[in-house]
């Protein structure tokens, strides 16, 4: 036998046993988005490489070392999207969705990053994200955070906390950058290699370092909040007031800078301590400069993205509850003519009882083996259709989850019987 082919390292199959949890998540997301008036956008998984270089930033982990980039058969450089925001902006500009209007959008789908696979970190993973365009005031910042909190409630997630910061305007960021460079230069011997590289290219990112040896130095660094411009400070106050009044707890973390270049003003992360090192479930912020940077007109913008694998891992861990998609009814087919009779009867039941989850046994086999499968299906009821039942225009009904006696039900009564018992 030849060796079987395995999935690519860092990618995962979502097997039928897990897909009910994914579908339940997707249903909650869809419903929540409707309640806020956000609409779905679906963009291609493949984009021009330039899109990500120009948006995420050349000196970021993603662009420097994580992208799946290749030349296609025409020699064009393409990249499997590592995140969703750049594609939303591209599509918004391309289709004229952004200029002089507001857009509230959401998306979901696979993202690709060539990272070292570990718990909560994969090479193909899934994000759900939200983007709002055309609104510069902090009410929309607050809306996105309230929406996050509502999602966690709907998903019965606990132990998630909110960290918040403001990066200020582009000018304020530049001021702070200079101060920060000076600080790190005076502690040059304490910088790790990554941070030394960042010092000239992207010094704010040093604050984002995951290296524990860098924490003390980072903690003592000058605080971004002291260099905020007046407008950003005022808007940050409004945001905090709305959150305080709405009862949303948060901590202001002046070292929260986010890994992507395009952020300004509000940035935030929803974090849990329950998942070990990969504790950030959801992250986002304002990116007022990005639309113009990608060739559109100046458009204020804010969004967030959440990692679905991490979120579902937390959900499973915190509730321990299995989410299943068992059928309601399992139909056993026994003997001559039962396939014909049974399949047609099953079709009729599906017509008359919309939403009924009915699995028809196909492929024959002994009564005993069919019953075993019925039991394993999780169904509450087994319908047994054998030659004797067919002759008498009846169906034998067995309750699989309690001790109620097996009964014979007239075919004409079956729909009513199921309606009452399921």
Could you list the residues that contact ligand ATP (CB under 6 A)? 83, 113, 115, 120-122, 125, 127, 259, 278, 280-283, 305-307, 309-310
- List of residues 6+ apart from 6 with CB closer than 8 A: none
Considering the complex, state which of residue 239 and residue 256 has its C-beta at the smaller distance from ligand ATP: 256
Considering the complex, state which of residue 115 and residue 316 has its C-beta at the smaller distance from ligand ATP: 115
Q: Closest approach of Cβ 34 to ligand ATP, in Å?
A: 23
Three-class HEC string of 90-142 = HHHHHCCCCCCCCEEEEEEEEEECCCCCECCECCEEEEEEEEEECCCCHHHHH
Identify the helix (H) or strand (E) that includes residue 27: helix 16-36
Identify the helix (H) or strand (E) that includes residue 21: helix 16-36
Q: How many CB atoms lie within 10 A of CB 175?
A: 14
Considering the complex, state which of residue 55 and residue 127 has its C-beta at the smaller distance from ligand ATP: 127
User: Backbone phi, then psi, for 240, in 5-degree steps?
Assistant: -65, -40
Considering the complex, state which of residue 30 and residue 121 has its C-beta at the smaller distance from ligand ATP: 121
Considering the complex, state which of residue 258 and residue 398 has its C-beta at the smaller distance from ligand ATP: 258
- In angstroms, rounded to a whole number, what is the distance separating the alpha carbons of residues 382 and 17? 22
Q: Closest approach of Cβ 307 to ligand ATP, in Å?
A: 2
Q: Closest approach of Cβ 299 to ligand ATP, in Å?
A: 21
- List of residues 6+ apart from 22 with CB closer than 8 A: 14, 308, 312
Q: Closest approach of Cβ 205 to ligand ATP, in Å?
A: 11
Q: Closest approach of Cβ 389 to ligand ATP, in Å?
A: 52
Measured at the CA of 71, the angle between CA 69 and CA 73, to 5 degrees, comes to 145
Output the DSSP codes for 144-175: HHHHHHHHHHHTT--SEEEEEEE---HHHHHH
Q: Closest approach of Cβ 25 to ligand ATP, in Å?
A: 14
- In angstroms, rounded to a whole number, what is the distance separating the alpha carbons of residues 46 and 342? 46
Output the DSSP codes for 332-389: EE-STTHHHHHHHHHHHHHHHSTT--EEE--S---HHHHHHHHHHTT-SEEEEE-HHH
CA-closest candidate to residue 111, choices 88, 82, 87, 68: 82
Q: Closest approach of Cβ 345 to ligand ATP, in Å?
A: 46
Q: Closest approach of Cβ 111 to ligand ATP, in Å?
A: 7
Considering the complex, state which of residue 122 and residue 176 has its C-beta at the smaller distance from ligand ATP: 122
Q: How many CB atoms lie within 10 A of CB 258?
A: 21
Considering the complex, state which of residue 161 and residue 372 has its C-beta at the smaller distance from ligand ATP: 161
Considering the complex, state which of residue 61 and residue 288 has its C-beta at the smaller distance from ligand ATP: 61
Give the residue at shortest CB distance from ligand ATP: 307
Q: Closest approach of Cβ 286 to ligand ATP, in Å?
A: 14
Q: How many CB atoms lie within 10 A of CB 336?
A: 10
- 206: which 2 tokens? 């040093």
Considering the complex, state which of residue 166 and residue 360 has its C-beta at the smaller distance from ligand ATP: 166
């Amino acid at each position: 036998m030849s060796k079987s082919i395995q999935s690519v390292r860092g990618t995962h199959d979502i097997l039928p046993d897990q897909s009910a949890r994914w579908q339940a998540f997707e249903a909650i997301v869809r419903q929540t988005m409707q309640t806020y008036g956000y609409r779905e956008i679906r963009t291609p998984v493949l984009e021009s490489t330039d899109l990500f270089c120009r948006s995420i930033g050349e000196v970021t982990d993603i662009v420097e070392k994580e992208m799946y980039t290749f030349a296609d058969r025409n020699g064009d450089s393409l990249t499997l999207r590592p995140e969703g925001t750049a594609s939303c902006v591209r599509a918004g500009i391309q289709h004229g969705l952004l200029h002089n209007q507001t857009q509230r959008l959401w998306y979901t789908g696979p993202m690709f990053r060539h990272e070292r696979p570990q718990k909560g970190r994969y090479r193909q993973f899934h994000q759900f994200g939200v983007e709002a365009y055309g609104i510069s005031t902090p009410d929309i910042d607050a809306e996105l955070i309230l929406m996050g909190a509502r999602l966690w409630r709907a998903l019965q997630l606990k132990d998630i906390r909110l960290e918040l910061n403001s990066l200020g305007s582009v000018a304020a960021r530049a001021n702070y950058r200079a101060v920060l460079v000076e600080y790190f230069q005076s502690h040059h011997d304490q910088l790790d290699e990554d941070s030394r590289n960042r010092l000239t290219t992207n010094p704010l990112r040093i604050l984002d370092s995951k290296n524990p040896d860098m924490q003390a130095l980072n903690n003592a660094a000058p605080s971004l909040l002291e260099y905020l411009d007046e407008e950003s400070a005022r808007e940050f106050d409004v945001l905090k007031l709305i959150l305080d009044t709405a009862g949303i707890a948060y901590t202001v973390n002046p070292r929260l800078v986010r890994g992507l270049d395009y952020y300004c003003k509000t940035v935030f992360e929803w974090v849990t301590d329950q998942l070990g090192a990969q504790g950030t479930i959801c992250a986002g912020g304002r990116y007022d400069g990005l639309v113009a940077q990608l060739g559109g007109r100046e458009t204020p913008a804010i969004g967030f993205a959440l990692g679905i694998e991490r979120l579902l891992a937390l959900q499973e861990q915190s509730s321990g509850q299995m989410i299943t998609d068992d059928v309601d009814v399992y139909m056993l087919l026994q003997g001559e003519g039962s396939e014909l009779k049974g399949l047609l009867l099953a079709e009729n039941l599906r017509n008359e009882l919309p939403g009924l989850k009915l699995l028809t046994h196909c492929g024959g086999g002994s009564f005993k083996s069919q019953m075993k499968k019925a039991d394993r299906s999780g169904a509450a009821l087994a319908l047994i259709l054998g030659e004797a039942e067919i002759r008498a225009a009846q169906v034998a009904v067995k309750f699989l989850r309690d001790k109620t006696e097996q009964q014979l039900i007239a075919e004409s009564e079956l729909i009513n019987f199921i309606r009452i018992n399921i």
